[in-house]
Structure 1
């Protein structure tokens, strides 16, 4: 399996900078963008993601959150990345606000594929070099170059 996230961003989105001030607002921004990219209604995406959020935090620590959901209408997992100006509360396991948000959407019946993609995203964002690079990136191209290739071999 690829160790970068390029496959998940084919048909996905990158939002290099946004000033959302809450978890709900950050999720809304990504849902709207992924709706345009996938053709699935923003409300359906947001309802599915918020339902998952109610089950437990998707803030994985170190300023990273990975909100996710399974939806009908998708044929493959797709992702969207959002970098926030200031971190927002995602009730992360380390209690730190999250400023790097990667939303993962997967087909409704893709339990194993969804879990594999989620593990891939989690492993990717565990790398300090990735997080630091994303926070320093000045535009979408710089973010894309970090997300779509390994900055650290064996990270």
Structure 2
């Protein structure tokens, strides 16, 4: 599995003036609808349900929200870079500006866990995060996410 298996160029956005987690989830869901034909209301509900179990902000400005949704066949991802960091309730209390959301079939087990490990490993790399923060072109962001050896699952 590679990030290119989870993302498409249309699943990458740069968002301005996102002021709440609720608005961020709406933007993630809208992007998932446009890029992967995932029902946006199901996506929002699933993201909020998962977030109620504990924050998905993993630290250093990165959040990895994820949800299981009925009706999709494989794990799909959406990436948003925020122009202004958002208070997300992350484990390190740092605001978030890099968000990679995963949407998995309800019954996905190992595939979902591999995808989470892959995106976590990728966005733990300070060099990749620095490049993502330095670019605002969605095509360049897609290339950055998909070009590194870290973006392949074991």
The TM-score, its normalising length taken from structure 2, stands at: 0.91
Alignment of 1:110-129 (within 5 A): 110-129=108-127
Kept in 2, the 8 Å contact 1:129–1:151? The answer is no
Q: Which residue of 1 aligns with 2:139?
A: 141
Q: Which residue of 2 aligns with 1:75?
A: 73
Q: Which residue of 1 aligns with 2:50?
A: 52
RMSD, matched Cα: 1.9
Distance 2:105 2:25 in 1: 19
Match of 2:128 among 127, 130, 137: 130
Is 1:13 paired with 2:2? no
Distance 2:119 2:48 in 1: 19
Q: Structure 1 residues 68, 46: closer, same or farther in 2, change over 3 A?
A: same
Q: Which residue of 2 aligns with 1:92?
A: 90
Match of 1:148, SS state, is helix
Q: Which residue of 1 aligns with 2:36?
A: 38
Unaligned runs of 5+ in 2: none
Runs of 4 or more, structure 1, over 3 Å off, are: none
Unaligned runs of 5+ in 1: none
Distance 1:72 1:152 in 2: 29
Question: Matched residue pairs, number?
Answer: 152
1:76-114 CA distances to partner (integer Å, 9 max, x unpaired)? 110000011111122111110000011100111102111
Kept in 2, the 8 Å contact 1:80–1:102? The answer is yes
Cα distance, 1:27 vs structure 2: 1.2
Distance 1:19 1:71 in 2: 28
Kept in 2, the 8 Å contact 1:16–1:143? The answer is no
Kept in 2, the 8 Å contact 1:130–1:151? The answer is no
